[in-house]
């Protein structure tokens, strides 16, 4: 009995789901055999390279696109057997495509979240109004009700659409790249907002995103979509541990450092620069040189020798010596020297 009460409530699951699209009569399957599960209060990030079918999956789970085969179940009910209004009361999808309407106020957008609850002309009841003002408050846009959508920043717009989804009171939220076009602070804000919703009000969120590092830090579970069909669903730490990310996203210039847990560029330090005798250079400067492709060593026969004193950086090539340089200036000279050698 007690054990049963600890079992998480299943919100959504799929059975041998294939997703894809039909274009001019020819089928194109992006992913197949998917058996996915989402539970109450889950915050799951869907990641994967471009074109592997993230948006298609979100749209298919939201019932906006037909599956190629297999079924989606919402709380044990087949998605396809649900009517339009029942479906949108259970599951709400927030799409990427930037809406092309400007003369619409924040509140008018959020009001649409109550669409299936209102009467034929759309009059709001007391509870409707509470849902609307609460969800506007929850995304932190109180006081913005009468602002036109066109006057908002991209981050604020995104939050308006999250508020619209919240207003519908659907327990399941699917968001297709809500952090696209946002700057870093807005990205953090939108994703933490969604995570907090899953913690405080028990919403189940599935978010597709390209922000790997944020997803790895915030998600309860990561769904990593592989380009050659297949999905890995496990905790962020397991994803990091097992080098999946390097496999999927890594290439000639980029690799995933599973020790530090983030991506790094593969260095190409071919050119050596000699450290001037009896000097030491700070750690950060070593990284600067490394990024530019220079390796600092003690050996002679290098491109140039470098040192630093109270007045600034010093570069000498044997023939000439330049003093009182800033780090940037020193780097520019080194790059010029490298060009000459080439």
Partner 1 sequence: MKLMNLYIWKRLNDGIMIRRTHYFLFFSLSLLLAVFFILDLFLGSVHIPVKESIHILSGNSDNSNWSYILLQMRLPRALNALITGSGLAIAGLMMQTLFRNPLAGPYVLGISSGASLGVAIYVMSSGVFGFIIGAGIYNYGMILSAVAGAVLIFLLVILVASRIRDSVSLLIVGIMFGSLTTAIVSILQYFSRPELVHKFVIWTLGSLSSVGWDQLLIMMGFILTGLIVSVFLIKPMNAFLLGEMNAEATGVNIVRIRYLILFGVSIIAGSLTAFNGPIAFIGLIAPHISRMIFNTTNHRILFPACMLTGTILLLGCDIISQVPGKYIMLPINAITALIGAPVVVWIIIGKRKMKTAF
Residues forming contacts to partner 1 in the complex (CB under 8 A) are 59, 62, 64, 84-85, 87-89, 92-95, 97, 99-105, 107-109, 111-113, 115-116, 118, 120-124, 128-129, 132, 143, 145-146, 164, 168
Minimum CB separation from partner 1 for residue 123, in Å? Answer: 4
Structural contact between residues 76 and 47, judged by C-beta atoms closer than 8 angstroms = no
C-beta closer to partner 1: residue 96 or 196: 96
Give dist(CA 54, CA 64) in Å, integer: 14
Minimum CB separation from partner 1 for residue 282, in Å? Answer: 50
Give dist(CA 87, CA 73) in Å, integer: 11
Structural contact between residues 210 and 54, judged by C-beta atoms closer than 8 angstroms = no
C-beta closer to partner 1: residue 181 or 272: 181
C-beta closer to partner 1: residue 62 or 155: 62
Minimum CB separation from partner 1 for residue 98, in Å? Answer: 9
Minimum CB separation from partner 1 for residue 18, in Å? Answer: 21
C-beta closer to partner 1: residue 126 or 318: 126
Smallest Cα–Cα separation from 80: which of 15, 25, 169, 35? 15
Minimum CB separation from partner 1 for residue 139, in Å? Answer: 17
Ramachandran quadrant class, 121 (left: phi over 0; alpha: psi -120 to 50; beta: rest): alpha
C-beta closer to partner 1: residue 105 or 258: 105
Q: Which long-range contacts (CB under 8 A, 24 or more apart) does 184-192 make?
A: 186/153, 186/154, 186/155, 186/158, 187/211, 187/214, 188/214, 189/155, 190/155, 190/158, 190/159, 190/162, 191/215, 191/218, 192/218
Minimum CB separation from partner 1 for residue 128, in Å? Answer: 8
C-beta closer to partner 1: residue 85 or 257: 85
Neighbours of 330 (CB within 10 A): 22
């Amino acid at each position: 009995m007690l054990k049963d009460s600890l079992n998480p409530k299943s919100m959504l699951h799929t059975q041998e789901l294939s997703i894809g699209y039909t274009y001019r009569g020819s089928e194109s399957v992006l992913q197949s055999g998917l058996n996915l599960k989402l539970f109450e209060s889950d915050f799951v990030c869907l990641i994967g390279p471009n074109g592997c079918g993230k948006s298609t999956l979100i749209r298919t789970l939201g019932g906006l696109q037909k599956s190629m085969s297999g079924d989606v179940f919402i709380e044990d009910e087949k998605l396809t057997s649900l009517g339009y209004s029942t479906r949108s009361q259970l599951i709400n999808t927030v799409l990427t495509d930037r809406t092309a309407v400007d003369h619409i106020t924040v509140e008018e957008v959020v009001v649409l979240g109550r669409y299936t609850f209102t009467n034929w002309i759309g009059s709001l009841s007391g509870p409707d109004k509470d849902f609307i003002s609460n969800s506007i408050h929850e995304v932190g846009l109180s006081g913005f009700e009468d602002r036109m959508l066109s006057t908002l920043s991209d981050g604020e717009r995104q939050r308006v659409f999250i508020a619209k989804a919240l207003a519908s009171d659907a327990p399941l939220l699917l968001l297709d790249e809500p952090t696209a076009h946002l700057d870093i602070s807005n990205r953090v804000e939108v994703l933490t907002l969604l995570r907090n919703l899953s913690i405080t009000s028990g919403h189940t969120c599935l978010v597709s995103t390209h922000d790997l590092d944020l997803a790895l830090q915030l998600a309860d579970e990561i769904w990593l979509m592989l380009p050659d069909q297949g999905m890995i669903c496990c905790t962020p730490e397991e994803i990091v541990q097992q080098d999946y990310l390097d496999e999927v996203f890594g290439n000639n210039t980029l690799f995933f450092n599973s020790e530090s847990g983030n991506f790094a560029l593969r260095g190409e330090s071919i050119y050596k620069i000699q450290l001037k005798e009896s000097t030491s250079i700070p750690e950060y400067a070593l990284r600067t040189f490394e990024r530019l492709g220079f390796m600092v060593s003690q050996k002679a026969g290098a491109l140039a020798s470098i040192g630093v004193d109270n007045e600034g950086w010093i570069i000498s090539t044997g023939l000439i010596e330049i003093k009182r340089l800033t780090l940037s200036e020193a780097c520019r000279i080194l790059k010029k020297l490298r060009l000459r050698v080439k």
